[in-house]
Amino acid sequence: MKNEISKVIPNSIAEEVDIEVGDRLLRINENDVKDIIDYKFLITDEVLLLEVEKKDGEIWEIEIEKDYDEDLGIVFREGIIDKPMTCHNDCIFCFIDQLPKGMRETLYFKDDDSRLSFLQGNFLTLTNMKEEDIERIIKYKISPINVSVHTTNPELRVRMLNNRFAGKIYDILKRLSAAGIKMNTQIVCCPGINDGEELVSTIEDLYRLYPNVNSVAVVPLGITKHREGLKKLNLFTQETSLNQINLVKELQKKYYEESGTPFVRLSDEFYIVSGEPLPDSEHYQGFEQIEDGVGMVTLLKDTIDTTLPDLKKDGVGSFTFVTGALVYPEIVHIKDKIQRLNNNINITVEEIPNKFFGETITVTGLLTGIDIINTLKEREVGEYIIIPDNVLRKGYELSNSDKAILLDDYTVEDLSRELNRKVIICDFTGDDLITIINEHLRED
């Protein structure tokens, strides 16, 4: 039921005024609460009049005085209260269109919702928005938002997104920028389509809106083996990856000199495929684009170097690190560093071929439970199997909860049972890797 409250935080304002699980929040200061953005905007006032429908249907009016921006302490059954907006694009590179049949229904849902961009960091195309939606972003200062741009060339964007409204993107970006909305942007780069000079032109257009357009992440398209009936696309090669690096490097140098930031950053995959060294941590300036795979390997290496001195030097144990093909050599280097400090620790690094999506998918975050199980069943593995949390669909849980699931619905419990080993979830940044190893070492 819309607006239904599923949790009341203990010792909160809501608990104090007898709001209960199952109640519905209807209005705040005579304004309808249509979704989570309405709610967050309306509760900032210091004096509130709530209209609440109790479980028995009785309507209560509750007056509240509170500090500015103080939360009421309620959680809604539906995270954004309203239903998320559906994407009506038919992008030539869409990963969801490349999923095999038979997966859980939620994986096939394409969202394009500014509320999810603001709350969860999801990327939106701005193509599916009505005028009132854009006005609402400006009115409520929904910022920052993450925008999938891909190209600022109107005709090319229409073709890439297969949406006749897609060419208006730059006008919308300019309007949002003028209203002070902060934006992080993304370009899914497709060889021979929006790379090369098209890529340079798009980046230059976006830089004209700096600093409200704060950054650009360039990521290569992913191609699975499930592309029946879809447009033929090519992967980046060593040569074409290097071409993009060299083009972007010239822009980065100019932007550094003008504003102290590279502004545009390429995902790690471009560097690894090309054979070029990854930039250092200074280049990533806080790793704000880490979820796009931008600087992920550099952060991992830095984190391990920082935490490695904490490794116990006298413990014994055996571990298996699970990784995708792309970063396998880097994980081997990390394994070697650990074993040089304590040669009583036996670590194997297992590269998991992606049979589920096809071996053109090499990133660790798209590994599935069945591929991990099938690969490791044929190998000699350690007492403990360590997998990074970015393979999980429900986020990283410090308790290593068995409820966390992988893309193909396998749980951590399933992996442990099938492999007859304890499976441990590690932060993909490596932040707790040394701690995990220390906790599972035996005395020599």
pLDDT attached to residue 81 = 53
- The secondary structure of 72-100 as a DSSP string is --EEESSTTSSPPPBP----TT-SGGGPP
Cα separation, 11 vs 18, whole angstroms: 11
- Residue 39: which H helix or E strand, with range? helix 36-42
Partners of 348 in the β-ladder: 320
Question: pLDDT digit string (tens) for 210-230?
Answer: 999 999 999 999 999 999 999
318 or 55, which is more confident? 318
Cα separation, 25 vs 338, whole angstroms: 54
Specify the DSSP class assigned to residue 322: E
Cα separation, 299 vs 293, whole angstroms: 10
Q: What is the mean pLDDT of residues 26-45?
A: 82
Q: Assess whether pLDDT exceeds 90 at residue 335.
A: yes
Instruction: Give the length of the chain.
Output: 444
Q: Are strands 74-76 and 5-8 parallel, antiparallel or unpaired?
A: antiparallel
Cα separation, 51 vs 48, whole angstroms: 10
Instruction: Collapse the DSSP code of 437 into the 3-class scheme (helix H, G, I; strand E, B; otherwise coil) and give the result.
Output: helix
Residue 438 CA, chain-centre distance (Å), reads: 29
Phi, psi dihedral angles at 395 (to 5 degrees): 85, 170
How many CA atoms lie within 13 Å of 279's alpha carbon, on the beta-carbon side? Answer: 21
pLDDT attached to residue 403 = 62
Q: What is the mean pLDDT of residues 306-320?
A: 96
- Token pair 């044929």 is at which residue? 378
Cα separation, 253 vs 223, whole angstroms: 31
The b-or-e profile of 13-52 (16+ CB within 10 A means b, else e) is: bbeebebeeebbbebbeeeebebbbbbbbbbeeeebebbb
- Token pair 């939106």 is at which residue? 124
Question: pLDDT digit string (tens) for 340-395?
Answer: 999 999 999 999 999 999 999 999 999 999 999 999 998 999 999 999 999 997 53
Domains by residue range for the chain, with CATH: 5-76 (2.30.42.10), 96-294 (3.80.30), 301-443 (3.40.50)
- Token pair 């929904």 is at which residue? 142
Q: Are strands 47-53 and 123-124 parallel, antiparallel or unpaired?
A: unpaired
pLDDT attached to residue 31 = 87
Four-residue CA torsion sign, 176, 179, 181, 184? positive
Give 134's pLDDT tier (boundaries 50, 70, 90).
Answer: confident
Question: pLDDT digit string (tens) for 192-209?
Answer: 999 999 999 999 999 999
Q: Is-contact 2 82, C-beta < 8 A? A: yes
pLDDT attached to residue 136 = 82
pLDDT attached to residue 69 = 75
The b-or-e profile of 214-232 (16+ CB within 10 A means b, else e) is: bbbbbbbbbbbeeeeeeee
E-assigned strand segments in 262-403: 264-266, 315-323, 345-351, 384-388
pLDDT attached to residue 397 = 36
Phi, psi dihedral angles at 307 (to 5 degrees): -95, -15
The token duo for 335 is 């394994």
Q: What is the mean pLDDT of residues 257-263?
A: 97
Closest by alpha carbon to 319, among 292, 296, 341, 339?
A: 339
Question: pLDDT digit string (tens) for 59-115?
Answer: 999 999 988 878 899 888 876 554 555 677 889 999 888 888 877 766 655 554 444
CA distances from 140 to 102, 132, 170, 176, 290 (A): 39, 12, 21, 12, 27
Instruction: Collapse the DSSP code of 311 into the 3-class scheme (helix H, G, I; strand E, B; otherwise coil) and give the result.
Output: coil
Q: Is-contact 59 51, C-beta < 8 A? A: yes
Cα separation, 151 vs 189, whole angstroms: 9
Q: Is-contact 91 166, C-beta < 8 A? A: no
Residue 191 CA, chain-centre distance (Å), reads: 23
Give 118's pLDDT tier (boundaries 50, 70, 90).
Answer: very low
**pTM tops 0.85:** no
pLDDT attached to residue 33 = 83
The average confidence (pLDDT) of the chain is: 89
- Token pair 């650009």 is at which residue? 216
pLDDT attached to residue 95 = 86
